[in-house]
């Protein structure tokens, strides 16, 4: 994933047995692969494979994915994100384009996969901010020694750890919904705090942070944004008259 991305990465993973691992050991394979996508900044249309495997679809079936706001998109296998029939508005690096509304798809497995991708990207952003805080010196001291910086990075770390714990515990539809919401919220908290920690350099295109921020904004919107999923969970609790326990502690 550090060397290739997109269609080339997908082909390499298929050659390594990605499809077989996804069928035989999804509980171990999905967290590992999607978290590494986030940590390395690579991308590939692996979400399509997760949804197809969960729904029993063939490899030739097109997959339309719900997007924030009630729209639908498709993650193409080709790397070209430009052209008249493609939408570069979500992220110019990703071959994602708007499509008409599709048939219902299994959401739980896809949401957990995206959650792990979001936490991986969050850890990559946290690593960038931590390195900067340790190396950057102001007033004769590393900025990592300043309480305001330490509190921001601590809150970021707690949000990421909490999201990963929720993802590890999620097994059903509601758990997966809440886990995706937690991962999206953690990613947005991470983006905000890490950009503040990095200061002016965090707003430049030359620094790697902006790539991760753009990526998590796209991933948060796929299969329901964190805000939408929290509202959906609230509606479920209100309709049932009780709040389901996510995990037995």
The pLDDT confidence band at residue 143, using thresholds 50, 70 and 90, is confident
Pairwise pLDDT comparison (103 vs 212), residue with the higher score = 212
pLDDT digits (tens, 9 = 90+) for 110-127: 999 999 999 999 999 999
> What global pTM score does this model have?
0.92
- Over residues 147-157, mean pLDDT: 92
pLDDT digits (tens, 9 = 90+) for 184-198: 999 999 999 999 998
Are the C-beta atoms of 102 and 109 separated by less than 8 Å?
A: no
Residue 141 pLDDT:
79
3-class SS string, the chain: CCCCCHHHHHHHHHHHCHHHHHHHCHHHHHHHHHHHHHHHCCCCCHHHHHHHHHHCCCCCCCCCEEECCCEEEEECCCCCCCCCCCCCCCCCCCCEEEECCCCCCCHHHHHHHHHHHHHHHHHHHHHHHHHHHHHCEECCEEHHHCHHHHHHHHHHHHHHHHHHHHHHHCCCHHHHHHHHHHHHHHHHHHHHHHHHHHHHHHHCCCCCHHHHHHHHHHHHHECCCHHHHHHHHHHHHHHHCCCCCCCCC
Residue 83 pLDDT:
53
């Amino acid at each position: 994933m550090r060397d290739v991305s997109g269609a080339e990465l997908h082909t390499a993973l298929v050659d390594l047995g990605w499809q077989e691992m996804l069928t035989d050991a999804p509980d171990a394979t999905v967290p590992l692969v999607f978290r590494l996508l986030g940590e390395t900044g690579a991308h590939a249309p692996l979400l399509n494979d997760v949804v197809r495997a969960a729904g029993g679809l063939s490899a030739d079936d097109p997959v339309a994915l719900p997007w924030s706001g009630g729209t639908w998109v498709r993650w193409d296998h080709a790397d070209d994100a430009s052209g008249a029939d493609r939408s570069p508005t979500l992220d110019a690096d990703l071959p994602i384009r708007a499509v008409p509304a599709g048939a219902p798809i299994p959401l739980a497995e896809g949401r957990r996969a995206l959650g792990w991708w979001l936490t991986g990207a969050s850890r990559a952003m946290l690593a960038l901010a931590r390195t900067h805080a340790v190396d950057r010196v102001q007033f004769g001291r590393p900025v990592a020694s300043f309480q305001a910086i330490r509190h921001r990075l601590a809150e970021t770390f707690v949000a990421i750890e909490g999201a990963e714990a929720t993802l590890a515990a999620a097994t059903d539809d509601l758990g997966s919904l809440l886990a995706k919401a937690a991962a999206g919220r953690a990613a947005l908290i991470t983006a905000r705090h890490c950009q503040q920690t990095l200061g002016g350099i965090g707003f430049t295109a030359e620094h790697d942070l902006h790539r991760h921020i753009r990526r998590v904004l796209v991933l948060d919107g796929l299969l329901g944004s964190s805000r939408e999923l929290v509202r959906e969970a609230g509606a479920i609790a209100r309709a049932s008259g009780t709040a389901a326990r996510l995990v037995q502690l």
